[in-house]
Chain A
Amino acid sequence: MSRLLVCSPDYFGIEYEINPWMRRSNAVNSEQAIRQWHHLMQVLEQDVGVVLDRMKPVPGLPDLVFTANAGIVVGGKAVPSRFRYAERQKEEAYFEDWFRGQGYEVVTLDPGRFFEGAGDLLGFPDTWFGGYRQRSDITVFPTISGWFHREIIPLELVDKRFYHLDTCLCPLSGGELLYFPPAFDLYGQEALAERIASSRRLVVQEAEALRFACNAVCVGKHVVLPAGCPETESLLTSCGYLPHPVPLDEFMKSGGSAKCLTLALD
């Protein structure tokens, strides 16, 4: 049974601007955010059937809610993130403590190189993809690849609005790839096309990509994605998936959606 790490949005808000979505003037409706988050949790637990591990929120760390950026966890081993922006660097110690507290073997990257966890590293069981240039450094991937014995194909992110790989690419459990090609340069698009047959590449249209249709959580045949992406939902349905749209627009004010709010723990 899948387990996901989550953190409730008690202290969520826009307190700084570190991506094009964030504007301090665009205040978060806290009650609405909490309602949306609980709805997401309900869908994940009841409809999808995952187990949720809840982390304690911390005042003054509004983005701790985006647990995808805690690090990565694979086979009992955890690599905590090294955030690019000072605003989020304060979260590192909390995530690292949580991993240690749960008994994970924690492997840390040398300081001075940035890595934003499952926000920039995701993939299929044997091939992973690493987003770089915006937040994570490409040079962390060979190190992580060595630790986990997995191939990591680096992909340059060229559109500031899609600043993490999980905002524009979502590998599905059946081997299909849900993605928005213009977020990548031509080399990245070509590398994906070389690796995945065109019938298995599900291209998201720009309007829905901008609603973070790719920021989806796929567990088995279930795909939890932000509401307002009907074309993506039909695409998923046509491939045999069961889409679960959840309204998450309060979190979009911060540049995050369903996937950003969870971290897969296996």
Chain B
Amino acid sequence: MMHDQETVLLQGHIIDSLILAKVLDTILMMGGTFDLQDVQIGKTREEPSRARIIVRASSAKLLSEILHAIQPHGASVESERDCRLSAAPEDGIFPDEFYATTHLSTQVRVRDRWVEVEQIEMDLGICVDLVNLTARTIPMGQVKRGDMIVIGREGVRVIPLQRPRERDVFSFMESQVSAERPHGHIIGDIARRLVQLRTGFREGKAGSKVLLAGGPAIVHAGGREALAWLIDEEFIHVLFCGNALPAHDMEVDLYGTSLGYGHVAGRVVPHGHEHHLRTINRIRAIGSIEAAVRSGIVKTGIMAACVRRGVHVVMAGTIRDDGPLPGVITDSLEAQATMRRAIPGIGLALLVASTLHAVATGNLLPATVPSVCVDVNPAVPTKLADRGSFQAVGLVMDAASFLRELARELGARL
């Protein structure tokens, strides 16, 4: 990530003298990049011109070297002001004019220093710790009276996404969603990322975890075996779901049906609609999904693989849930907070066949995390792509076909 940046001003007769060209060339030759923010060209020969240039570099050291090199040509660092802060008036209430975050990396200026906002996520506030000079995002519901919250836009800068180094499907600057695009090469690229990330994960490299947020359609449509295989092969490290995905997954194991349909034969089984309720009841009696797997009652499927592989599972409930299963978080704010805690370290997110969980997860992810949204309904990937991240890939296809094709690409024999 290219993060260090400073805004410089250049003024005078900088066009005809080629001073502007020289400064920009110098920035590039030294390995930096620039954005010309504002160029005002003098209307007459006498009138001076003026350029505001954002200089970016991969490290603070390189940035300082570049600034050092361009300053003799008149580029002066723009004096910046600290961000404005105001104390939260009550628990759970931001001060008026609070700054609302985007999902892009953000820095705030505190005591003349640019400070990185930790755990960036969209639609939150920014809380500044004036003792340790740190800044972090904070949801409205978690703010405490007296917390120092950033207000206004002064002293806040948002760092646009840099084009990723990898030349794959995630590096396209557009995030079109179309059912007509061939899927093969996209799935191939995702598979290559998964292999790289698994290697990183095994070596304990930060940012190597893969998150899958999924709905029960994965089970109904026949993607259960493929997903279980991906989990067993250590390609998935975090699972976000609701009550239904684990319920129907274990229903298949215990009754051979999902939502009452014979899983293999594909026919309605008499009294099959009760199976998921009986499954939930059984697990509630045992006490936990983990105990059900460890005791050998649930042997196959997604949840069994998660328990075997120690996948971090967050189950967030909804108002239409049956049961729910033990471990399902029914307080939605608590569920959101638990999901949020699982986000750091994620290097790729697969959002499969669940509008609710895909959108909730998408809102929690920083723009820097590449994400893939798979749904038969084009509205879901479109909604995710509209977040403005060019690292979001939308696939309009059936969940089971996607997971099977992905698993096959990775060597599964399904």
Contact = CB atoms under 8 A, between A and B. Distances in A.
A127 B45 CA distance: 8
A185 B17 CA distance: 11
A190 B72 CA distance: 19
Nearest to B18: A187
A191 interface: yes
A141 B10 CA distance: 12
A128 B18 CA distance: 15
A126 to B, nearest CB: 7
A127 B16 CA distance: 11
B345 to A, nearest CB: 47
Nearest to B47: A151
A217 interface: no
A51 B22 CA distance: 42
Interface string B31-60: 000000000000001101000000000000
Contacts of B45: 126-127, 151
Q: State the main secondary structure of chain A at its contact with B.
A: mixed
Given A138-B72, A156-B73, A187-B22, A150 B16 contact: no
A154 B21 contact: no
Interface string B71-108: 01110100000000000000000000000000000000
Interface in A105-133: 126-127, 132-133
B13 interface: yes
A261 B12 CA distance: 29
Contact of A142 (B16, B18, B48, B72): B48
Contacts of B13: 141-142, 145, 151-154
A139 B74 CA distance: 5
Interface string B1-32: 00000000001111011110110000000000
A126 B13 CA distance: 13
A139 B18 contact: no
Contacts of B74: 138-139, 142, 154
A135 to B, nearest CB: 12
A154 B17 contact: yes
B19 A154 contact: yes
Contact of A151 (B18, B21, B46, B76): B46
A187 to B, nearest CB: 4
Contacts of A188: 17-18
Interface string B252-290: 000000000000000000000000000000000000000
A132 B14 CA distance: 13
A67 B162 CA distance: 54
Contacts of B46: 145, 149-151
Contact of A138 (B16, B21, B48, B73): B73
Interface in B120-168: none
A187 B48 contact: no
A149 B72 CA distance: 24
A145 B12 contact: yes
Interface residues of A, number: 26
A155 interface: yes
Contacts of A195: 16
A145 B76 CA distance: 18
Given A127-B45, A142-B11, A149-B46, A194 B16 contact: yes
Contacts, number: 60
Given A127-B45, A139-B74, A151-B45, A187 B11 contact: no
B20 to A, nearest CB: 10
Interface residues of B, number: 17
Interface string B369-389: 000000000000000000000
A155 B13 CA distance: 11
Contacts of B48: 142, 145-146
Contacts of A154: 12-14, 17, 19, 73-74
A195 B72 CA distance: 23
A191 B18 contact: yes
Contacts of A191: 16-18
A236 to B, nearest CB: 27
A142 B73 contact: no
Of B13, B17, B72, B74, which is in contact with the most chain A CB atoms at under 10 Å from its CB? Answer: B17
A141 B21 contact: no
A126 B46 CA distance: 8
A195 B16 CA distance: 8
Interface string A13-27: 000000000000000
Interface string A60-88: 00000000000000000000000000000
A263 to B, nearest CB: 24
Given A126-B45, A142-B11, A153 B72 contact: no
A36 B373 CA distance: 86
A141 B192 CA distance: 56
Contacts of A137: 72
Contacts of A145: 12-13, 46, 48
A34 B200 CA distance: 80
B16 A187 contact: no
A173 B127 CA distance: 65
Given A126-B45, A154-B74, A187-B21, A141 B12 contact: yes
A253 B344 CA distance: 68
Contact of B12 (A126, A138, A149): A138
A187 B12 contact: no
A191 B17 CA distance: 5
A194 B12 CA distance: 18
Contacts of A126: 45
B235 to A, nearest CB: 53
Interface in A29-73: none
Please give me the 9 A-B residue pairs with the lowest Cβ-Cβ distance, nearest first: A142-B12, A187-B18, A138-B74, A153-B17, A151-B45, A187-B22, A191-B17, A191-B18, A154-B17
Interface of B: 11-14, 16-19, 21-22, 45-46, 48, 72-74, 76
12 contacts: A133-B72, A139-B74, A141-B13, A142-B74, A145-B48, A150-B46, A154-B73, A187-B18, A187-B22, A190-B18, A191-B17, A194-B16
Interface of A: 126-127, 132-133, 137-139, 141-142, 145-146, 149-156, 185, 187-188, 190-191, 194-195
